Structure 1
Amino acid sequence: MLAAIDTIAAPLVLAATTEDDGLNPLVRVVPGLMIWTLLAFVVALLVLRKYAWPQITRILDQRQQQIEESIDAADRTRQEADELLAEYRQRLTDARAQADEIVAKAERAGEVAEREGLDAAKVKREELLEQTRRDIQAETNRAIQEIRREVADLTVQATEKVTRKTLSPDDQKRLVEEALSELDFSTLSGDRRN
């Protein structure tokens, strides 16, 4: 590898040292070459300034504007996302509050329905008890009336058998009233009259 470098570098070193004054031609000052070099540089600079720099500046400005627009769009998107997140959180809070309110209303409605059901059951029970009392009282009165008729019939029959004669309707009535007055029907009807 060193041999390859030596073969390439040797002619360059030889060409640089073979000049008249022993200076390298790249380092030596040649006024004509220097003027043409400056003139070429100025022309290249003017051409670049006239045609290339406006294009490069325009492209760089466009790129800067695109970057700024991208940053603005990212900021707007982030702001919209923050607003949406805040709105979502607010809606979630509202939904939870509504759910809690619905549950509370349902519990209150359940309690009211239970209370109304109990009240209705109590009223129905009282009505049934009152109806049962009336039925018992009516049945008791009917039974007492039936017993009175039986007692009256038995009294009339017993009296007729004892006296061996038929009683007149007035005598029967008087006899039945006396027999009935001696019986205490209040104990049968549940009344405790003295």
Structure 2
Amino acid sequence: MRLFELLFSAQLWAASSAEAEEHAASIIQLVFPLINFLIFLYLVKRFLLPLAKDYFRSRREEILGAVEGADEEKRQAEEKLRDYQGKLSRLVAEAREIQAALRAEGERERAKLVAEAEDLAAKIKVDAGFLAEQEVKIARRQIRAEIARLAQQAAQQVLQRHLTPADQKRLVEEFLTDLGGAR
């Protein structure tokens, strides 16, 4: 700001003196503003232009660095996106595989349980048949035993009513004879 005031103060001085005198412009009045302007251009070129170049160069480098950094971050973000999309697709595929495996395992388990239930039903049927046969055999034995007991009772009653002591003696002797002959 100070340099700016210094450069234009000479022009202001020259302009104020020109108004004060109402003479025709002399060569000095024309040359001084030209020299002043050339000095101004020299000072701008000497001091301001290098500063401006440095500023714009550093600003350009900052912008390029920021753009390169942004490009790198964008590339990394896109790479992460591809990685995550790949992981997601692998996870989806893995979830489908697990779901299919669980479904297949469920089907196998269901088939196994159905087969076990059928085997158990067949075994229960066989066991029930066997138990029924055993119960029938036991019932037949009991019926035969009851029939034999009843027959024995009936025979005993018939014998007690119709058997005389002579018949009883004769039957004992026959039994003993048969028993002795069997020896």
The TM-score range, normalised by the shorter chain, is 0.5 to 0.7
SS at structure 2 position matched to 1:85: helix
1:51 is aligned to: 51
2:66 is aligned to: 66
Q: Which runs of 5+ in 2 are unaligned?
A: 1-23, 25-29, 176-183
In structure 1, how many angstroms separate the alpha carbons of the residues matched to 2:150 and 2:168?
A: 17
Which runs of structure 2 are paired with 1:73-92 in the superposition (5 Å)? Answer: 73-92=73-92
Root-mean-square deviation over aligned CA pairs = 3.0
In structure 1, how many angstroms separate the alpha carbons of the residues matched to 2:60 and 2:48?
A: 16
What TM-score does the superposition give when structure 2 sets the normalisation length?
A: 0.67
Q: 1:36 deviation in Å? A: 5.0
Greater RCO, 1 or 2 (C-alpha within 8 Å, sep 6+): 2
In structure 2, how many angstroms separate the alpha carbons of the residues matched to 1:167 and 1:129?
A: 49
Which runs of structure 2 are paired with 1:90-101 in the superposition (5 Å)? Answer: 90-101=90-101
1:7 is aligned to: none
Structure 2: which amino acid aligns with 1:42?
Y
Q: 1:34 deviation in Å? A: 5.4
In structure 1, how many angstroms separate the alpha carbons of the residues matched to 2:75 and 2:31?
A: 60
Q: How many residues align?
A: 147
1:129 is aligned to: 129
Structure 2: which amino acid aligns with 1:89?
S
Give CA deviations for 1:136-176 in whole Å, capped at 9, x if unaligned. 101111111110221232233334444556746x66xx8xx
Structure 2: which amino acid aligns with 1:98?
I
Deviates more, 1:46-55 or 1:141-150: 46-55
Q: 1:112 deviation in Å? A: 0.3
In structure 1, how many angstroms separate the alpha carbons of the residues matched to 2:92 and 2:138?
A: 67
Identity of matched residues, %: 12
Give CA deviations for 1:104-150 in whole Å, capped at 9, x if unaligned. 10111111011111211211221122112111101111111110221
1:106 correspondence with 2:102: no
In structure 1, how many angstroms separate the alpha carbons of the residues matched to 2:156 and 2:32?
A: 177
Q: 1:55 deviation in Å? A: 1.6
SS at structure 2 position matched to 1:96: helix
SS at structure 2 position matched to 1:55: helix
In structure 1, how many angstroms separate the alpha carbons of the residues matched to 2:44 and 2:99?
A: 78
Q: Which runs of 5+ in 1 are unaligned?
A: 1-19, 21-29, 175-194
SS at structure 1 position matched to 2:81: helix
